[in-house]
Amino acid sequence: MKPGIHPEYKPVVFQDASCDFAILTRSTIKTNDTIEWTDGKTYPLVKLDISSGSHPFFTGKQKLVDTAGRVEKFNKKYSKKK
């Protein structure tokens, strides 16, 4: 590999903001936040909105969405005028 053209590949912590889930892996992402990991070392931190710790596909928990209100609103907006 040519020196100086590749991004730095380093350990990074990805943390899900919606649940207590974090994983330490390697990445080239740049961030200004840091976190102290369980081994006592400080690593760059990337905050996620959703991960395998909170996604319904992986957890088996489905969040209910008020679709009835949406359907009524759609029907009211696009129904034929009598």
- Domains of the chain, residue spans: 10-78
Q: For the whole model, what pTM was predicted? A: 0.63
pLDDT band at 77 (very low <50, low <70, confident <90, very high): confident
Q: Residue 52 belongs to what H/E stretch?
A: none
- pLDDT, tens digit, for every residue of 4-60? 898 889 999 999 887 888 889 999 999 999 999 999 999 999 998 777 667 655 556
Say which residue the tokens 């319904």 belong to. 56
| Rounded Cα–Cα distance for residues 32 and 14 (Å) | 13
Our separate counts of H helices and E strands in the chain read 2, 4
| Rounded Cα–Cα distance for residues 22 and 45 (Å) | 10
Q: What amino acid occupies position 6?
A: H
